[in-house]
């Protein structure tokens, strides 16, 4: 086997395996795999890892969004109650 063919196979295996993983783990695996495969693949791993990280949502982000939506709902409820006290519609 030639060196470039072996690198291509290794890169294919890493990218294929990364499809089974989620979130930031993908970036770590692809980045580590790219370091093993070599120079040009390292840049590819960084790009793929950043792409997966940008698409996924962490638990912290989900929790923050839910809390923000809850505060907005409570704020709207208070406004509605104030308008009802003033004999206005919500």
pTM of the model: 0.38
Given CA atoms 32, 34, 39, 42 in this order, what sign does their dihedral have? negative
pLDDT digits (tens, 9 = 90+) for 34-76: 555 555 555 555 555 666 566 677 899 999 999 999 999 999 9
């Amino acid at each position: 086997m030639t060196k470039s063919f072996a690198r291509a196979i290794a890169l294919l295996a890493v990218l294929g395996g990364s499809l089974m993983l989620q979130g930031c783990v993908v970036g770590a695996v692809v980045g580590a795999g790219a370091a093993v495969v070599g120079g040009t693949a390292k840049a590819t791993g960084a790009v793929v890892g950043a792409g997966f990280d940008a698409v996924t949502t962490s638990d912290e982000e989900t929790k923050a969004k839910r809390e923000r939506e809850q505060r907005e709902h409570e704020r709207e409820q208070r406004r509605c109650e104030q308008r009802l006290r003033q004999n206005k519609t919500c």
